[in-house]
Structure 1
Amino acid sequence: MSTGELVTVDPLDLKFILELNKQISSSLKLTNDTDNHVGYKVKTTNPKKYCVRPNTGVVLPRSTCEITVTMQAQKEAPPDMQCKDKFLLQSVIAKPGAATQDITPEMFTKDSGNVVEECKLKVVYVSPTSSTSSNGLGGSRMHVDSRDKSSEVRALILKLTDEKNAAVEHSNRIRQELDLLRRGSNKSQGGGASLVFVIIVGLIGLILGYIIKK
């Protein structure tokens, strides 16, 4: 964190968990503890590699804003995981009620007598396997594992839903067959037919109860 007269910048290191062939974002927070409108501008030594949004803006008095820096997808990682890219955040006092469109490049020119506050930011690459948490596991790995577990849970829910629907459909068929047997038993004569009906009804009830519990 850097505490200047105009804004506080946090953090001073833009950390990127380096995953190849994937855009990666990092963010920093600007806090204006003054009663003035503060205009800011973000510069980088490698503008083709990074996208800064918003790269120019206004921090209102006693408020905070967030800047997102997105690094373009990298095809390979440097052998030493070191990055020489730098960022420079410049801030100046703007006129009361100033908006983003009122911030011009000339405001950050010191030759014009403007008081420009500057804060330098470093880029730090973090390996997915070296980002550790309190239990010793890599933060990125945990994120991947979390996504994998989430996929497994969704798959299990879908499977259980299909099984439930199949069980309900099967139970409906059994009920229909039970109604047919009941109608047939009412028309049949003799105690033997009634006994057979009772046995069949009992067996169907046991099967239906087992399917529903499952």
Structure 2
Amino acid sequence: MDMRLLEVCPNELKFTFQAKKQESCIIQLKNNTYDHVAFKVKTTNVKKYCVRPNMGIIKPLNSCEVIFTRQAQSVAPLDMVCKDKFLIQSTVVPIETNVDDITSTTMFGKSGSKNIEETKLNTIIVSPNVEPLRKEMAIEVLDQSNDEQMEELKLKITKLEVKLHEAMVAISKLEQERPSNPKAKSFKNNCSIL
């Protein structure tokens, strides 16, 4: 299981260039922890992109979709190269924190004592050629279904780990209540953590 606070999928933004048309793409942020995690999205070019939501709080083991919209451009970038970059910052927050509490200075400022994780995303501009685009979409659909199955398996494993942890806590409490019971001790010794 990924040990980062947030898993970002995909890890790059891909926009198809079409003159004078907006383009959007979606990424998924998945909270890999049992804590509430706040996030904030920053970019090197705020005038060219709209990000919704650009900040938020993700509950334990949940996910959030973020939509990146590239404003309409009249001219394609030279050699279809885009130097725009995005940064996703994340940090653990108390349960009672709400979105209004998220600010750059208090939560994601450099002077704070919080542990802030950062994930950088590159931006790719692709040509709108129809045939290659169809092939690429077919490959993405296949990859996406495999990714979805993998995500489901990861979620099931995480839920099983939570249940195992709860069982171990219950066993520990029972042992504390009856320390002289030899069956309880032998039962604990036969349990192992996955």
TM-score, normalised by the number of residues in structure 2: 0.65
Report the Cα distance in structure 1 between the residues aligned to 2:13 and 2:111, rounded to whole angstroms. 29
The aligned residue for residue 132 of structure 1 is 133
Shift >3 Å, 4+ stretches: 130-134
Offset of 1:4 from its aligned partner?
5.2
8 Å Cα contact 1:41/1:91 also seen in 2: yes
1:1-214 to structure 2, matched below 5 A, reads 3=2, 5-105=4-104, 106-129=106-129, 131-134=132-135
Distance in 2 (CA, whole Å) between partners of 1:115 and 1:82 is 33
SS of aligned partner of 1:132: helix
User: What TM-score does the superposition give when structure 1 sets the normalisation length?
Assistant: 0.59
Deviations, residues 181-202 of structure 1 (Å, cap 9, x unaligned): xxxxxxxxxxxxxxxxxxxxxx
- Could you tell me how far apart the structure 2 residues matched to 1:60 and 1:67 are? 15
Aligned pair count reads: 134
How far the C-alpha of 1:102 sits from its partner, in A, is: 2.1
SS at structure 1 position matched to 2:100: helix
Which of the pair is proportionally richer in helix?
Answer: 1
Task: Report if aligned partners of 1:92, 1:117 keep a CA contact under 8 Å in 2.
Answer: yes
Aligned equivalents of 1:127, 1:133: Cα separation in 2: 12
CA contact (8 A) 1:13 1:124 kept: yes
Structure 2, unaligned stretches of length 5 or more? 138-194
CA distance in 2, matches of 1:18, 1:4: 35
Distance (whole Å) between structure 2 residues aligned to residue 101 and residue 4 of structure 1: 27
> In 2, distance between residues paired with 1:97 and 1:56?
16
Give the RMSD, CA atoms, in angstroms.
1.6
Alignment-mate amino acid for residue 132 of structure 1: L
